[in-house]
Amino acid sequence: MHFWGGILLGLGVHAICSLKSITLKPTMGLLLFTLVVATGTWEVFEWLAGLYDPTTHLFDTTKDIIVGFGGGLLAHIILNKRTMKL
């Protein structure tokens, strides 16, 4: 789920930046900022809602962040290579 969420965030950053009314470029910094905000918000939500096991919370959170960032970075790298060729 976190991997696909990261991919969707990467795709979303590129899609929003491709709108004519938006003057942002889909840079690595913008993607990382978006991933940090979305991942942080989700992990805080999990903690506040009690959707975690206290014995494995640190490992689970670390894994979620790494996998989510991996998906987002993969989408960004693929889209950058694809759009640079066009």
DSSP labels for 1-56?
-HHHHHHHHHHHHHHHHTSTT------HHHHHHHHHHHHHHHHHHHHHHT-S-TTT
Query: With bands split at pLDDT 50, 70 and 90, how would you rate the model's confidence at 83?
Result: confident
> The dihedral of CA 60, 5, 82, 27: what is its sign?
negative
pLDDT in tens, 11-47: 999 999 999 999 999 999 999 999 999 999 999 999 9
**Domain boundaries in the chain?**
2-85
Is residue 84 predicted with pLDDT exceeding 90?
Answer: no
- What pLDDT score does 85 carry? 58
Q: What does the alpha-carbon distance between residue 51 and residue 64 come to, in Å, rounded to a whole number? A: 13
* CB distance 11 to 76 below 8 Å: no
Handedness of CA 67, 5, 52, 29 (dihedral sign): positive
Residue 39 has a pLDDT of: 95
At 56-79, the pLDDT tens digits run 999 999 999 999 999 999 999 999
Q: What is the pLDDT of residue 77?
A: 95
